[in-house]
Amino acid sequence: MAKLLRKMVVLLMFRLDWRKLISIFVILTVLQTNNEKGSPMILLNSSHQLNQSILSSKKKWEESQQRRRRNNLTSTNTFAPSSHPSVKNLPSRVERYLRSLAPDEALAFIKRDIDNAPLDSTDDPELYAPLFRNISTFKRSYEWMERILKVYIYGEGERPIFHQPELRGIYASEGWFMKLMEENRQFVTKDPKKAHLFYLPYSARQLQKALYVRNSHNMKPLSIFLRNYVNMLAAKYPFWNRTHGSDHFLVACHDWGPYTLTEHEELTKNTIKALCNADVSQWIFNGGKDVSLPETYIRNSRNPIKYLGGRKVSQRPILAFFAGYNHGRVRPVLVKYWGDKDEDMRIYGPLPSRVSKVISYRGHMKSSKYCICPMGFEVNSPRIIEAIYYECVPVIIADNFVPPLNDVLNWSAFSVIVAEKDIPNLKKILLAIPLRRYIVLQTNVKKLQKHFIWNVKPTRYDMFHMILHSIWSSRVNHIQIL
């Protein structure tokens, strides 16, 4: 039998390439072991049997390698709760192991670690725990993002739709994110093989301005344009097809952002979407995966936080304030019940000139305890972030709306959410909040401001980093662990 096997090896050396020889070596080792144990020998009397045996042995070898890697990952990722190391001070063995992993494998490792994050009992001067759903998980996830996240930005796409951020107006969030992401050196990589995320750098606002035919009520050309763009990337690179778009993300603040995706099924269902129009009643926004993008009205692109701040609690005589165009399903009801009828409830359509001559729009927000933030045509509203800027407690009225960065922020700690059906009882609801509770809410709003600020040069935990973290967190949470 040994002579027969030797002859087969010599013969196969001339017919098989070197990769198959490795598999044959495994087979010979198994056969010899089985023979020593008295197990029956397998007669390789046909090329079909030979190929089947090679494939079977190769599969067993690959499975053993996968088990070894999983065991290695588990043992490397298991830390004693009392000595759970900081991400900034990882043991060298963990550092070496992470560098050896493919991006998805590294994310699987990190997901395990975040899921087992120890309770953080240390005081952090940069973070205020009551603002967050789980401060320990957030800090651990954020530190991992800072440590390893790499984003690949596709260079394809002509201006103005691509790579041309709009930094003023109510849709400025998508523009500011694009600007700061493309300027970033910490997270951006030129090597797509190292990327954990892939950014589609287009502006929904610029798309609307460039392609929409005024008064046509037809958004299909915009959707077709994006479909063709994604199909081009999928044909040119292997990365979209590898995950069907699940490691790609987009950032769109225009109201039409969700609707411009619908001609491409994978773009709509799989891609991580950071959208201002975060409406869970529609099938496009997935509350468990997508990110609610803060809508920020930027009037001065050189100094986006020029008017930040507000008055003390004792200097806020107005109970509630709203002024704005009277459109959508909520605002007409709000104005109907409270419009210019109650001295405590300063509720208007567009702010009348007789009123603005006395107190400006901004002055009203800085002088009010509560700022009413009703939805417009869509569920989102820039007034939510305006209220935070002016230290006025936001009152959100928009059923089915997911508040900005809701995946990490605890909105009950600094806002009031009122159901649309309860608009007739709005004043009663607000007056029922005790002064002590209001002071907590308003104090928390001031502590929250730093997380909703666009900085020309981004700083830790500011708006840019918070949005990027939510996108990163979505990717980590949905990674498959073998």
**3-state DSSP assignment of residue 279:** strand
Q: In the sheet where 197-199 sits, what is the strand order?
A: 151-153, 197-199, 248-252, 272-275, 291-292
Q: Among residues 217, 150, 230, which one has the least CA distance to residue 377?
A: 217
Q: In the sheet where 345-347 sits, what is the strand order?
A: 345-347, 318-322, 368-374, 393-397, 416-417
User: Domain segments of the chain: what residues?
Assistant: 2-76, 103-146, 151-299+461-477, 313-452
Run of H or E including 178: helix 172-183
In terms of C-beta density within 10 A (0-12 exposed, 13-18 middle, 19 or more buried), how is residue 310 classed?
buried
Q: Which two tokens stand for residue 413?
A: 């700690």
All residues at 6 or more sequence positions from 1 whose CB lies less than 8 Å from its CB, including other chains: 35, 41
Query: pTM (2 decimals)?
Result: 0.83
Distance CA 308, CA 56 (A): 67
* Residues 449 and 308: beta-carbon distance below 8 Å: yes
For 313-452, the fitting CATH number among 3.40.50.620, 3.60.20.10, 3.40.50.300, 3.40.50.2000 is: 3.40.50.2000
* Residues 348 and 322: beta-carbon distance below 8 Å: yes
Q: Can you say how many angstroms the Cα of residue 183 is from the centroid of all Cα atoms in its chain?
A: 19
In terms of C-beta density within 10 A (0-12 exposed, 13-18 middle, 19 or more buried), how is residue 414 classed?
buried
* Residues 365 and 371: beta-carbon distance below 8 Å: yes
Q: What is the pLDDT along the chain (482 residues), one digit of tens a residue?
A: 555 555 554 444 444 444 444 454 444 454 444 444 443 343 334 444 434 543 454 455 456 555 555 555 444 444 433 346 678 778 888 878 887 899 999 999 999 999 988 887 667 889 999 999 999 999 999 999 999 999 999 999 999 999 999 999 999 999 999 999 999 999 999 999 999 999 999 999 999 999 999 999 999 999 999 999 999 999 999 999 999 999 999 999 999 999 999 999 999 999 999 999 999 998 999 999 999 999 999 999 999 988 999 999 999 999 999 999 999 999 999 999 999 889 999 999 999 999 999 999 999 999 999 999 999 999 999 999 999 999 999 999 999 999 999 999 999 999 999 999 999 999 999 999 999 999 999 999 999 999 999 999 999 999 999 999 999 999 999 998 75
All residues at 6 or more sequence positions from 241 whose CB lies less than 8 Å from its CB, including other chains: 234
- Dihedral over Cα of 220, 221, 224, 230: its sign: negative
Distance CA 454, CA 295 (A): 12
**3-state DSSP assignment of residue 409:** strand
Q: How many other CB atoms are there within 10 angstroms of residue 473's CB atom?
A: 21
Q: Among residues 246, 282, 206, which one has the least CA distance to residue 471?
A: 246
DSSP-assigned letters across all residues of 452-471: G---SS--TTSHHHHHHHHH
